Structure 1
């Protein structure tokens, strides 16, 4: 993981742990998944449906859908709009989701 370029405003908030791609991440209670991953130095959140290139956070307010991830087995979840919780399982979303017919 790359070194974090972000800095937290409140350092004394309680912590929770979750996993990202099998790695344990410590986050502050109240963080969004996107904020927690950014603070941990993770900037590549998913791959583009069109080109396959890496995508990361953009708006951090749920308008752009650049931070879609698989969260607790559910694809297409916006990481910026999902609060971290103890034991959450987060995976990168790779390309488009297949539709079951």
Structure 2
């Protein structure tokens, strides 16, 4: 693990208890009290997820819980902030993956007003896709 164990201000890290956790199916070790983000970083993992639509890599950004760039799935709970969540023994962490695009159209094709939507869908049954 890559970590500071003798800090000039905080002193030496002593009596740290190691815990195992998994990230994307691989077992890692971290110190009890580490956040998921810091434990992964200490193990050389920088990418925590990809952008849901573009697939661009995402990692720790603000590290204080404001930006939500570090969202991961923890024990099947989605959207957990890795920078704010302490690791626990046998915790299962999964990175955020590329998601399917919810629309087959582009924003330029979407109706701008409800009246435009009604005009486009006139005569269609509710629930039928607009083509």
> What are the Cα deviations for residues 37-94 of structure 1, in whole angstroms up to 9, with x where unaligned?
0000000100012421110001111011010001110111100111100010001111
Q: Using the alignment, how far apart are the partners of 2:40 and 2:17 within structure 1?
A: 16
- What is the TM-score of this pair, normalised by structure 2? 0.65
Q: CA RMSD in A?
A: 2.1
CA contact (8 A) 2:53 2:100 kept: no
Q: 1:85 — aligned with what?
A: 88
CA shift for structure 1 position 11: 5.5
Larger radius of gyration: 2
Taking a change above 3 Å as real, the CA distance of residues 39 and 11 of structure 1, as seen in their structure-2 partners, is farther
Q: Using the alignment, how far apart are the partners of 1:63 and 1:48 within structure 2?
A: 17
- Is the partner of 1:81 in helix, strand or coil? coil
Q: Which protein, 1 or 2, shows the higher relative CO under an 8 Å CA cutoff with sep ≥ 6?
A: 1
CA contact (8 A) 2:72 2:94 kept: yes
Q: Using the alignment, how far apart are the partners of 1:45 and 1:18 within structure 2?
A: 15
CA contact (8 A) 1:7 1:39 kept: no
- What is the TM-score of this pair, normalised by structure 1? 0.83
What stretches of structure 2 of length at least 5 have no aligned partner? 8-12, 102-131
Q: Using the alignment, how far apart are the partners of 1:73 and 1:44 within structure 2?
A: 19
What stretches of structure 1 of length at least 5 have no aligned partner? none
- Consecutive aligned runs of 4 or more in structure 1 exceeding 2 Å deviation: 6-12, 95-98
User: What number of residue pairs does the alignment pair up?
Assistant: 95
- Is the partner of 1:41 in helix, strand or coil? coil
